[in-house]
Amino acid sequence: MSAEFPDFRLGTVLATSFTATLTERRGSPVERIPTPQRLVDWLAVSDLTVESCTPAQLDLARELRESIHAAATATANHDAPPVSAVRVLNDRSIAGRAAAILTSDGDRQWQLGSASVEDALSVIAADAISIVSGERDGKLALCASPTCRAAFFDTSQSRTRKWCDMNTCGNRQKKARFTAKQRSAG
């Protein structure tokens, strides 16, 4: 891992972990996959190891990422996903080859057909389709942080999660509220 690049924000849902490679979208955006190698690194830590990545493949990945973000945001707002985003999700889903493998521990793993970026993106696109379509147990929501507004997949029992990430957006919001309280008290 290269220390000079922003670290990854990994969640438990593949598709929204992927959209979190661009954070603070409504503030000062932080690009967490600024180079093809960083996409290779991100895919490796997400159990989608690929052999290499070209600048053109990084562009494909970012196009998919923004399409997932657009589709997930629309769904969270109870709107239909934009036609262009649907097209990209479907194109990427179709363009790669991957098979679900059951490990001896009973876990599901993905085996990429040719260890290409396209194969990995097809897994991410399929994951996004499963949450946007409502097929999975959970609810798409938007982060309450005004500089973030990331779409995340809420699987909490009450479906009342407010932040995309407790350790970043959630914590910042809590600190801001605490500071404001201190100020009004003093």
Helix%, strand%, coil% for the chain, nearest 5:
45, 10, 40
Comparison of 25 and 38: residue with beta carbon closer to Zn ion? 25
Confirm or reject binding of residue 145 to Zn ion (CB under 5 A).
Answer: yes
Confirm or reject binding of residue 22 to Zn ion (CB under 5 A).
Answer: no
- For residue 139, what is the enclosing H or E element? strand 139-142
Sign of CA dihedral 83, 85, 87, 89: negative
Confirm or reject binding of residue 143 to Zn ion (CB under 5 A).
Answer: yes
Rounded-to-integer distance, Cα 165 and Cα 110, Å:
25
Confirm or reject binding of residue 76 to Zn ion (CB under 5 A).
Answer: no
Confirm or reject binding of residue 13 to Zn ion (CB under 5 A).
Answer: no
Contact mark string toward Zn ion, 91..130, x via CB under 5 A: ----------------------------------------
Rounded-to-integer distance, Cα 87 and Cα 13, Å:
22
Span near Zn ion by CB under 5 A; candidates 7-15, 56-64, 92-100, 144-152: 144-152
Distances (CA, A) of 31 to 23, 25, 65, 141: 7, 9, 12, 22
Please list every residue from 149 through 178 that binds Zn ion, using CB under 5 A: 150, 164, 169
Distance of CA 179 to the CA centre of its chain: 30
Comparison of 9 and 92: residue with beta carbon closer to Zn ion? 9
Binding interface with Zn ion (CB under 5 A): 143, 145, 148, 150, 164, 169
